[in-house]
Structure 1
Amino acid sequence: MRNVTLTDVFTHPIAQKYLGRSGIAHAVSVAHHAFRLALEYEVNPDLATKAALLHDVGHYEWYTNGQWDYEKYRENDIHAIKGAERAHKLLIRLGEDPASAKEMALAVLLHTDSYLPEGHLDKNNLQKVVRLADEADEEPGGNHHYRKMDYDLALRKIQALDQKVADVLKKDQGYKKSS
């Protein structure tokens, strides 16, 4: 049973605020990639798609003289840390199972290593899926954050993905609650 659907997350005003900053088209695309990868990695697609949708909600807008400054972003950004906090808070507010909310927040936290010190970190499959889904949609210079998608189209894509997740979960009751 799902406490919170992908549609619940997407339509929440807090999600809309932060998805608008980081790019709705990118978030929706990454959620779709995560669904495909979740099946491949045998990860709960409900957790994977919601974490993927929220992976960039921690973005801060880095500008210099009124222009987006990609280099400043790359040098200073820690969006995954803030995003994990925002995702966790939103998921809990919506009524998500606390353990699942924590798992998704950790996947958001670890979807990039741009802020981590050098070294190796073993990630679980949910964390790998979210990272790979994000990488599958990246464009040079951060351009993936600037693709546009109409809200109604994005909502229809999210609702269709929500139905795919529900169908998989109904068909395969073997998915663990977590990753």
Structure 2
Amino acid sequence: MRKVTLEELFVHPITQKYVGRSGIAHAIAVAEKAFDISSKANVDPDLAAKAGFLHDIGHYKWYRNGEWDYQRYKENDIHAIKGAARAHKLLVRCGEDMQNAKAIALAILLHTDSYLPEGQLQLNPLQQVVLEADEADEEPGGGHHYRKIDYQEALNRIRELDTKIDNIENLEQTS
């Protein structure tokens, strides 16, 4: 049984502030993609959607003269580190199961290698799902962070995703 819904996370002021920095439309698209990929990867769809939705909660705006400065971002970014900590704190405050909060935070931490030295990471299935979902929604030059979405449309999509997750959980409980 889920303790925290995506809608609860979506409406939270911390989410609105920090996920809004990196683009709510992108966050929702990644949550939806993570949900879709999760079934093929045998990953909990609730954890995948939450990690996908919160994956960029640690972003700082790397702008210069009003434009996204991708080079500056690549040189200085630690959004996954900040995001993992911020998401973990938010999830715990909202009442998420502690082990789930940790798993989600680790998936956020490892969804990008932009801050890591060269090398190969061994990702668990949840972490791999979030990485793939994020990559599937990326646009050149960080354009995915600029997409706009109306608040009501965003909320409706979050509610639809919550319903899909609840339906899967209900099916699992009855079988």
1:33 and 2:33 equivalent?
Answer: yes
* Alpha-carbon offset, residue 95 of structure 1: 0.3
Within 2, Cα distance between the matches of 1:114 and 1:57?
15
Measure the CA separation in 2 of the matches of 1:88 and 1:122. Answer: 21
TM-score, length-scaled by structure 2: 0.96
Shift of 1:173: 4.0
**Letter matched to residue 30 of structure 2:** V
How far is the alpha carbon of 1:119 from its aligned partner? 1.4
Moved beyond 6 Å, runs of 4+: none
What is the match of residue 169 of structure 1?
A: 169
Partner Cα separation in structure 1 for residue 39 and residue 71 of structure 2? 35
2:68–2:142 Cα contact (<8 Å) kept: no
CA distance in 2, matches of 1:129, 1:114: 17
Aligned residue-pair number: 174
Matches within 5 A, 1:107-122: 107-122=107-122
**Which ranges of structure 1 fall in alignment gaps of 5 or more residues?**
175-179
Query: Structure 2 stretches of 5 or more lacking a match?
Result: none
- CA distance in structure 2 between the partners assigned to 1:146 and 1:65 by the alignment: 16
Aligned residue type for 1:140: P
> Which residue in 2 is equivalent to 1:93?
93
Instruction: Output the CA distance in 1 between the equivalents of 2:117 and 2:75.
Output: 13
**Following the alignment from structure 1 to structure 2, what is the Cα–Cα distance between the partners of residues 117 and 51?**
23
Distance 1:25 1:11 in 2: 14
For normalisation by structure 1, the TM-score amounts to 0.94
Is the Cα–Cα contact under 8 Å of residues 27 and 54 in structure 2 kept in the other structure? Answer: yes
Shifted more, 119-128 versus 101-110: the winner is: 119-128
Post-superposition shift, 1:70? 1.8
The alignment-based identity, stated in percent, is 64
How many Å apart are 1:71 and its aligned residue? Answer: 1.4
Structure 1 residues 23-80: Cα deviation after superposition (integer angstroms, max 9, x where no partner): 0000000000001000110100000000100000000011223433121112111100
Alignment of 1:2-151 (within 5 A): 2-151=2-151
SS in 2 for 1:90: helix
Displacement after TM superposition at 1:172 (Å)? 1.9
Q: CA RMSD in A?
A: 1.2
Give the match for residue 157 of structure 1: 157
